[in-house]
């Protein structure tokens, strides 16, 4: 995949959220967010998230920016641009053998339910369509995670049951745009 001009992707402001490229100084807050059990209620992985797993997630997010010039943003409130209330954005993924963009969003429980993830996810889908046309945008979650499904639907994705994947007795529910 060709490198994107990061200037097209960051920073982005929605009505209430500043979306910016992750920086090394964000790592400790990112690890805390991913370790918070309230952000992992619907995580299909067995057992609690470890510090090493949370740090790896942050490094994968950061590396994608380095490799491709776009990716998952740090979400912050405009009044506190150095803060971190969550993550949202897209990254490369292969779904059913087809290149796609994975829509990711995870926000701190204190700000969930306010529509901030929907604002951020909508911005990610809009920019993906603008700067990476032809690549579908997908999101996957568990059947129980109705809030995540509503966010993806509000961001412009639609439910695609034919993409669902079974893993050891659990299902990854897929939503997609431009599939």
Residue 38, pLDDT score: 83
Cis check: omega of the bond before 11, within 30 degrees of 0: yes
CA gap 172, 21 in Å, rounded: 28
- Residue 6 token pair: 């990061």
The 3-class secondary structure across 75-101, one letter per residue, is EEECCECCCCCEEEEEEEEEECCEEEE
- Please provide the CATH number assigned to the domain covering 6-177: 3.40.630.30
> What tens digit of pLDDT does each residue of 135-171 get?
999 999 999 999 999 999 999 999 999 999 998 788 9
Buried b (16+ CB within 10 A) or exposed e, 68-77: bbbbbbbbbe
Q: Name residue, tokens 């993924």.
A: 93
> What tens digit of pLDDT does each residue of 24-78 get?
999 999 999 999 878 877 766 656 788 999 999 999 999 999 999 999 999 999 9
Q: Which stretch of DSSP H or E encloses residue 104? A: strand 98-107
Residue 47, pLDDT score: 65
The answer to whether residue 175 scores a pLDDT higher than 60 is yes
Domain ranges (residues) in the chain: 6-177
Residue 1, pLDDT score: 63
* pTM for the model: 0.92
How many CA atoms lie less than 13 Å away from 169 in the CB half-sphere?
2
Burial class (CB in 10 A: 0-12, 13-18, 19+), 127: buried
């Amino acid at each position: 995949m060709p490198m994107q001009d990061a200037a097209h992707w960051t920073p982005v402001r929605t009505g209430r959220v500043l979306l910016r490229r992750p920086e090394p100084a964000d790592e400790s807050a990112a690890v805390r967010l991913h370790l918070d059990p309230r952000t992992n209620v619907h995580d299909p992985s067995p057992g609690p998230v470890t510090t090493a797993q949370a740090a790896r997630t942050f490094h994968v997010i950061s590396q994608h920016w380095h490799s491709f010039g776009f990716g998952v943003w740090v979400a912050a409130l405009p009044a506190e641009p150095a803060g971190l209330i969550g993550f949202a954005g897209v990254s490369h993924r292969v779904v059913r053998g087809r290149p796609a963009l994975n829509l990711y969003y995870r926000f701190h429980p204190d700000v969930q339910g306010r529509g901030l993830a929907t604002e951020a996810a909508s911005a990610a889908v809009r920019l993906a369509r603008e700067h990476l046309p032809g690549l579908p945008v997908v999101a996957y979650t568990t059947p129980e995670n109705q809030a995540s499904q509503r966010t993806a639907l509000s961001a412009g994705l639609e439910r695609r049951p034919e993409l669902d994947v079974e893993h050891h007795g659990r299902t990854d529910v897929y939503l997609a745009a431009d599939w």
